[in-house]
Structure 1
Amino acid sequence: MRIKKGERPVVFLPGAGLVGLDYYNLHERLETGSVIYDRAGTGWGAPATLPRSAADVVGELRSLLAAEGVAGPYVLAGHSLGAFYARRYAQLHPGEVAGLLLLDPGHEDIFDFMPEGAAELNERMKPDLAQLPELTGEQVAAARKGWGEALAPLPEDVREQLVDYHVTRWRVAVEETLNFESEVYGELRAGGPLPDVPLMVLTAKGRNPYWAQFMTEEQMKQAHDGIHAMHAAMVASVSRGEHRELDGASHQFMHLEHEDAVLAAIRDLVGALP
C-alpha cells in the first residue's frame, strides 16, 4: 500500500488484473490524500485464493486503511471490477464514503441494457481458464511490448515492475472475475441503494478490441450504446451524479490514455464535497 497523506483521501480500487501501481500516475499528481494498494491475491498483496466476494475485498481494504491510519470519509475511485467493490463498500459502510468515482464500471443488471442475445454471447466470450495454455516465447515478447507501450506514461522503474508482473500473472485478470454472475452481482443487488454522496461515472468510448473478436460492427455499436445508457442510469439513481464520456479511451487503460481528464474528474468530485 502506498499512501500520500492529505485531506479527502482518494482510494483507488484497480480493475481486474490491474494493481495499485497501474494508477501511480494519478496517485502522484493528486493534491489530496491518495492511496494505491494491491488486493490480496493480486500484485504484491497477501496470498489469497481467487475469486473473492465483494464483501471480503471490502473488509480487507477497510482493515488496511485502519491499520495505516488513513481516516475517512474516503473518495473511492473504482475502475471496472474495482467499481463493484467501491459500490459494495459504500453499501456496507455508507458513513465512511464521501464520494464515488467509477471508471467504466460494470453493473449487475448490465444485460438489461444490452442488445438481444448479449447474455448468450457473453457465455461464448468467457475464456476457459483450465484450457488456456502458457504463453509461448513469441506471445511473451508481444505481451511485454504491448504492456510497455500501454504503461509508457509511468516512470521507467515503475513500468518495468508492472510489465514483469502483468506478463507473468496474466491469469489473475480472469480469476478475479470468475464469480461475477454467481456471487458479486447478487451481493450488489441485495445490498441496497448507494448513500447520497456525489457520484461521477466516466465512460470509455473507444473501440473494444476483445469484443471485435466475437461481435459484428453493429453488435458492438449496440453494446456501446447499452453501456452508455447503463452508466447514465447509474448516475440518475443518485441526487448528485455526473456522467462524462472519454472519446477514444479504452476500457483497461483509460486512466493512462486520458490522465488529465480523469484527474479533472477527481478534482471536480473532491471540490464538490461539503
Structure 2
Amino acid sequence: MTTRLARGLGIGASAIAAGATVATVGATALARLSRPSGEPGVLTDVHGLPLHALIHRGNGPTVVFENGLGCACTEWSWVLRDIADRYSYLAPDRPGCGWSGDDGRRRSAREINELTAQLLTRHDLPAPYVLVGHSIGGLLAMSFAAARSHDVAGLVLVDSSHPDQLVRSSAQRDAMPMAEHAMSSLFWRTLAGRKPSRMAVSDLDDLPEHEAARSHRLMERPAPWRAAVREIRTFDAWCEEFRQATLPRSLPIAVVTAGKTDVGDSKHGELQADLAAASDVSRHVVLAEADHDNIVMRADHAAEVGAAIDWTVSQSTAQARKARSA
C-alpha cells in the first residue's frame, strides 16, 4: 500500500452525507451490497461464507495468490495466463472482494490464511505452495509462509507492503488516513449508484479486454470499497502478527518492485530491499516504468511477475534436489 494508492483513488471526491444517502437509497443500496452473480471461477462454502476463487490444476507446485487492497482475483489475469501451462494455481477473493460473500467481520491474518488453506484442501491443491502477494496481499502471503513453512516452496512479493512501513516511512504513514477517506468516499459514492471516479479504476483498463470489463463492473459496487476500508483498519494488526513470526532464511523470496512508487516515497526502495534481505536466497527486480497497480495489471509487467515465480520454483527445486542427494 503506497502513497500512490491514496492519490489514485480520487481523494478529491467528497463523501456523500451518510444519513441522507441511506435514507435515499434504502433497499436499492442493500441490493448493491449483495454478492454479484456470474462469477468466472468456483464458489466454495466455507463455514457459511461463499468464497470465490479462480482454480487451475496443472503441473508443478501450486501458486497461491493474495490480491491487493479491495482488488478482485482478476487483477492477476495476465499472470494467470502466463503460468497456466506450468503450474497449478489458486487465486481467491477475500471476503467482500470480487465475487466472494461478506459477513462484515474483521479477520486476523491467521484467519484469512485459514480460509485460503480451506480452499486449498477442499479443491485438492497439494503442497508445495508458492505464495504471491501484491501490496497488502504481500503481508498475508508472508504470514501464510511463516505459519506453514513446511508446505511453502517460496514467496513472490509484488510491490508488497512491509510490516514496518508506517514506522519507517512518513509518506506511508501520512497516506493511511487519506487512503481510508478515499475508500470511504468511494463506498458511499457507489452505494448511491454512482460510478467510481475514473482515476480510481483506470489501471483496470490494462487487463485483457474481457477481464477489464468484468473488473470495472465489480468496482462499480460498494462491497469492495467497504472491504478495503475494513482491511485498512486491520492493517496494523496484520503487521503486528507478522512481526511475531519468522520466515526461514532458506526460503526463496523474489521481490518485484514498482520503480514509480519510489517517486512518492523515498523509503519505498529501502523497504523493498529489506523484504528481499529476509532470505539468504533472494532476487530483487525493480521495474522502472511500473507503478503500484499496473505492475500486475499490465501485460509486460505481469510477465516479470511470471518470471519471478519461475525463478522461485527453480530455486526451490534445486534445494529439494540437493537435499535428496545429501
TM bucket (normalised to shorter chain) is: 0.7 to 0.9
The code of the aligned residue for 2:272 comes to: H
How far does the alpha carbon of each residue in 1:185-227 deviate from its partner, in whole angstroms, 9 at most, with x for none? Answer: 110111233462100011111258xxxxxxxx7xx3xx2x311
Query: Following superposition of structure 1 onto structure 2, how do residues 79-90 of structure 1 map, counting pairs within 5 Å?
Result: 79-90=134-145
CA contact (8 A) 2:75 2:207 kept: no
The code of the aligned residue for 2:131 comes to: L
Query: Following superposition of structure 1 onto structure 2, how do residues 244-255 of structure 1 map, counting pairs within 5 Å?
Result: 244-255=285-296
Name the CA distance, whole Å, in 2 between partners of 1:132 and 1:268. Answer: 40
Q: State percent identity of aligned pairs.
A: 24
Name the CA distance, whole Å, in 2 between partners of 1:229 and 1:56. Answer: 30
Tell me the equivalent position of 2:178: 125
1:270 maps to 2:289: no
- Among 19, 40, 45, the residue aligned to 2:72: 19
Query: Following superposition of structure 1 onto structure 2, how do residues 28-177 of structure 1 map, counting pairs within 5 Å?
Result: 28-30=81-83, 31-114=86-169, 117-118=170-171, 121-122=174-175, 124-128=177-181, 132=185, 134-135=188-189, 140=195, 142-143=197-198, 147=201, 150-156=204-210, 158-169=211-222, 170-177=225-232
How far does the alpha carbon of each residue in 1:73-113 deviate from its partner, in whole angstroms, 9 at most, with x for none? Answer: 10000111111111111111111110000001111211454
Q: CA deviation at 1:129?
A: 7.4
Name the CA distance, whole Å, in 2 between partners of 1:173 and 1:166. Answer: 11
Name the CA distance, whole Å, in 2 between partners of 1:141 and 1:94. Answer: 40
Name the CA distance, whole Å, in 2 between partners of 1:161 and 1:87. Answer: 29
Tell me the equivalent position of 1:185: 239
The SS at the match of 2:232 is coil
Q: CA deviation at 1:175?
A: 2.3
The SS at the match of 2:267 is helix
The SS at the match of 1:248 is coil
- Among 216, 222, 230, the residue aligned to 2:271: 230
Name the CA distance, whole Å, in 2 between partners of 1:248 and 1:3. Answer: 30
Name the CA distance, whole Å, in 2 between partners of 1:204 and 1:25. Answer: 17
Name the CA distance, whole Å, in 1 between partners of 2:73 and 2:158. Answer: 15
Taking a change above 3 Å as real, the CA distance of residues 43 and 131 of structure 1, as seen in their structure-2 partners, is: closer
Q: CA deviation at 1:40?
A: 2.1
CA contact (8 A) 2:184 2:229 kept: no
Q: CA deviation at 1:50?
A: 4.6
Task: Say what the alpha-carbon RMSD is for the aligned residues.
Answer: 2.7
Tell me the equivalent position of 1:205: 259
Taking a change above 3 Å as real, the CA distance of residues 104 and 119 of structure 1, as seen in their structure-2 partners, is: closer
Name the CA distance, whole Å, in 1 between partners of 2:173 and 2:66. Answer: 29
Name the CA distance, whole Å, in 2 between partners of 1:48 and 1:63. Answer: 17
TM-score using structure 2 length: 0.71
CA contact (8 A) 2:183 2:228 kept: no
The SS at the match of 1:35 is strand
Name the CA distance, whole Å, in 1 between partners of 2:167 and 2:241. Answer: 18
Gaps of 5+ in 2: 1-52, 318-326
CA contact (8 A) 1:100 1:200 kept: yes
The code of the aligned residue for 1:165 comes to: L
Name the CA distance, whole Å, in 2 between partners of 1:271 and 1:205. Answer: 25
How far does the alpha carbon of each residue in 1:125-167 deviate from its partner, in whole angstroms, 9 at most, with x for none? Answer: 3434796373289962743x864663343142x3222111112
- Aligned residue-pair number: 256
The SS at the match of 1:135 is helix
The code of the aligned residue for 2:292 comes to: H
| Runs of 4 or more above 6 Å deviation | 136-139
